[in-house]
């Protein structure tokens, strides 16, 4: 076998990488003697600093190198809270971006430790219950304990809960109680109204402290509900400490497979507004009842 000339391979790789970088230049912040921009939005090429007007950045002059649609870039970055086109200084984030990331990470950590205000369940018309978790540490370390009610709550539920409802509505703090505090007051009345419009009998709403999604199985079996819908705060990411999800389950049973359930996620002001989520949930449950099951069964039914 002929000996491989590595210098030829290296030259070919360098040439290929050069073409790629020329076609896709990396956004960088403004540097030079021109006045600093009024915002931190990055731009491409060798154009002077962008001029900001009403929060919209517009480059002064035409940038050299690969052209791009500045208005389209602005439209995309404004369409999502995700961090797009952040720019860089050398190989690092801009200082403002780095500080923003640290702040959002701190918010996520605080969200995990957040607690539902003591008076919120009563304001939402809920019967207050608790899982087998005694505190937040146990909830985070032992997920299974959050999937079952404690003995006192089971006794209270059997005495005061609604039996045989079409849909049993459950609210939980989950991994961010802020989600319930932020969205609950709008979601609960809208969801009850949407379900009743679909002619469902809705059980008395329940609040479960230290709740995991699986607690809906325990509650559904105890009350003999035909279906359950639980809203819980989701695991927070950067900037999403107020996001929650609705999980629905038909013919609930203990340890019901998640493949039989459905989820409506990212319920929050910057995502899916609570009122729209309520309508989607009611429609989803109507289709679930028609199909005789949710999850994969609902998908196979084509409804």
pTM comes to 0.74
197-236 pLDDT, tens digit each: 999 999 999 999 999 999 999 999 999 999 999 999 998 8
Query: What pLDDT is recorded for position 69?
Result: 77
Residue position matching structure tokens 């360098």? 14
Go through the domains of the chain in sequence order and give each one's CATH number.
115-301 (3.40.50.11240)
Task: State residue 35's pLDDT score.
Answer: 45
CA 163 to chain centroid, in Å, comes to 32
Give the pLDDT of residue 88. Answer: 82
- Range name among 22-31, 76-85, 90-99 with the lowest pLDDT average: 22-31
Structure tokens that stand for 164 in this block: 């045989």
Give the C-alpha distances (Å, rounded to integers) separating 5 from 1, 13, 17, 18: 12, 13, 19, 21
For residue 36, pLDDT beyond 90: no
Give pLDDT tens digits for 41-77.
443 334 444 444 444 444 444 444 444 677 888 888 8
Is pLDDT larger for residue 19 or for residue 78? 78
DSSP string for 168-232? EEEEE-TT-HHHHHHHHHHHHHHHHHHHHHTTPPBPPPEEEET--TTHHHHHHHHHT-SEEEEEE
- 184 burial type by CB count under 10 A (0-12 exposed, 13-18 middle, 19+ buried): buried
Whole-number pLDDT of residue 276: 97
């Amino acid at each position: 076998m002929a000996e491989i000339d590595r210098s030829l391979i290296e030259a070919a790789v360098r040439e290929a990488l050069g073409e790629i970088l020329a076609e896709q230049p990396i956004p960088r912040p403004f540097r030079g003697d021109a006045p600093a921009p009024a915002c931190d939005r990055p731009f491409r090429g060798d154009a002077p600093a962008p001029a900001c007007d009403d929060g919209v950045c517009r480059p002064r002059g035409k940038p050299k190198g690969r052209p791009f649609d500045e208005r389209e870039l602005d439209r995309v970055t404004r369409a999502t809270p995700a961090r797009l086109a952040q720019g860089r200084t050398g190989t690092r984030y801009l200082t403002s971006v780095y500080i923003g990331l640290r702040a959002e990470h701190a918010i996520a950590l605080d969200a995990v430790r957040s607690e539902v205000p003591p008076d919120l369940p009563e304001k939402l018309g809920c019967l207050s219950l608790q899982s087998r978790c005694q505190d937040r540490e146990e909830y985070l370390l032992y997920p299974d304990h959050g999937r079952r009610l404690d003995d006192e709550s089971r006794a209270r539920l059997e005495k005061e809960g609604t039996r045989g409802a079409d849909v049993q509505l459950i609210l939980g703090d989950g991994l961010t109680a802020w989600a319930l505090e932020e969205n609950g007051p709008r979601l609960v009345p809208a969801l009850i109204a949407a379900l009743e419009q679909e002619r469902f009998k809705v059980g008395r709403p329940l609040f479960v402290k230290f709740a995991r999604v699986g607690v809906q199985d325990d509650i559904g079996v105890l009350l003999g509900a035909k279906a359950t819908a639980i809203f819980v705060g989701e695991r927070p990411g950067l900037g999403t400490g107020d996001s929650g999800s609705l999980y629905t389950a038909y013919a609930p049973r203990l340890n019901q497979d998640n493949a039989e359930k459905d989820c409506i996620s990212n319920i929050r002001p910057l995502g899916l507004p609570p009122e729209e989520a309520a309508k989607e949930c009611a429609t989803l449950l109507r289709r679930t009842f028609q199909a005789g099951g949710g999850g994969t069964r609902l998908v196979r039914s084509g409804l």
